[in-house]
Amino acid sequence: MNDRGPSCAIFFLLLSGSYISFGNGLQKELLRLEKDLLNLDADFVNLRKDFILERINSGSLIETLNHTIYQCTDNCKGTALQEKADGYVKIIVTDKSATSGFSDRLNFLILQRFVQAEKSNRRALENKLLATEKKYTELTMKVENYTTFKDKQNARNSSCKNIYLASINPTSGEYKLWTPTGQEFYVFCDFYNGHGYTFVSREGLNILKSLSDIYTDRSHVIVRHLQKDGIQKDVEIAPHSAFRYRYPLSFQLSKADGFTIPVNAALKPYIYLGFLPESYARRKSTQGYQAAGEDITFTNCDANPSSYLAFFANPYNRLPNNLYKICCMSTVVDAWIKKATDTPSFRYLPQTYFLEFEMGMGGCGGYVSRESFPMVSGAAIGFRFDA
């Protein structure tokens, strides 16, 4: 059997070098792998000892049985009787049946049972060895996969989707991404089974030139708001069911092409979430959006084309427009706050992801900004990607 010690040492070096820059979840997994590899190394050492002891015991017992069966003393050494005895023992140990020529049937059965027990013990050890080697191979492949994940992560990922596809067991958390021009920024990748959501940090908005790389789905977004007591809450926001297929959500960065410009545009950079374009929203018609699967509907009373929710980085800490002081809280524009549910703690965003915000919903739909909600510190938008 080959010595596994050097192989284990090599993989320990791989482990120690590969988990330094991983997320907390990957680090824990790699530490568990290292412990398993240490246990496997101990298994291999024990197996080697078992085989050595087995050989020693086998040789000793065969020699004893040889003398017991044939009662060979010093007087028979070198005689035909000794030669015959040695030949029979050799035949039996190599698993060839040869009962003729034995005068002592009982002693033969003892030797036969010993040989069978020796074979059974050897098979058990061999099975244990095969199982251990299989586990060892699986673990080393897993380590190699994690190393591959690290290499891909260092290959300047441009999206949470890339990170998801490159990982074995993706963990929600903060990751570093790079723009096509090589600038780095941070996002929070919120992973689910087969899809996820990307939240861009306040600093990231100062670097990004486009949102196109961070989403693949325009059917809905997750909006997460932070209460002043530290609790975070989520709500899914989508187009009103009457417009879902005609007008998917519009995602824009520091602009509102085809839509109404937000009141606090001076707090740019900002993310613009548009529901209905001006061409339609100027009508005195039924309009709205959807929050938590429920249509939030109003009738535009004066053809004001506002139909959006915007999130502002406000890097210079400018004061917001005072419109919120005079207009126009309503059940339409606060529904997405009221319908939000508690976010699981492991999905909590760092506070640097929560931004100033405002929502405008035409004439008679209402207008609010972050200041309209005394218990809310900010909001963040998560863009869906499918893997």
pLDDT at position 96:
42
Using CA atoms, how far residue 374 sits from 33, 107, 132, in Å, is 48, 95, 61
Q: Average pLDDT of 73-79?
A: 49
pLDDT over 60 at 266, yes or no = yes
Q: Average pLDDT of 266-274?
A: 98
Placement of tokens 């004893």 in the chain: 64
The rounded mean pLDDT for the chain is 81
pLDDT at position 128:
73
Q: Average pLDDT of 7-31?
A: 47
Q: Which of 110-114, 195-199, 276-280 has the lowest mean pLDDT?
A: 110-114
Residue 64 pLDDT grade (very low, low, confident, very high; cuts 50, 70, 90): low
| Alpha helix segments (H runs only) across 309-379 | 323-326, 335-338, 362-365
* Domain spans in the chain, listed from the N-terminal domain onward: 5-149, 160-386
pLDDT at position 124:
76
pLDDT over 70 at 296, yes or no = yes
Using CA atoms, how far residue 160 sits from 50, 78, 200, 328, in Å, is 50, 82, 11, 37
Report pLDDT digits (tens) over 145-154: 665 655 555 5
pTM (predicted TM-score): 0.62
Q: Which residue has the higher pLDDT, 87 or 116?
A: 116
User: How deeply is 365 buried, as exposed, middle or buried, from its count of CB atoms within 10 A (0-12, 13-18, 19+)?
Assistant: buried
pLDDT at position 274:
99
pLDDT at position 26:
55
Residue 342 pLDDT grade (very low, low, confident, very high; cuts 50, 70, 90): very high
Asked if 146 and 166 touch (Cβ cutoff 8 Å), the reply is no
Residue 72 pLDDT grade (very low, low, confident, very high; cuts 50, 70, 90): very low
Q: Average pLDDT of 108-132?
A: 71
Residue 138 pLDDT grade (very low, low, confident, very high; cuts 50, 70, 90): confident
User: Cα–Cα distance between 61 and 68 in angstroms, integer?
Assistant: 10
Q: Average pLDDT of 191-205?
A: 97
pLDDT over 60 at 354, yes or no = yes
Asked if 235 and 268 touch (Cβ cutoff 8 Å), the reply is no
Report pLDDT digits (tens) over 232-255: 999 999 999 999 999 999 999 999
Q: What percent of the chain has pLDDT over 70?
A: 65
Three-class DSSP category at 330: coil
Q: Which of 14-18, 131-135, 217-221, 286-290 has the lowest mean pLDDT?
A: 14-18
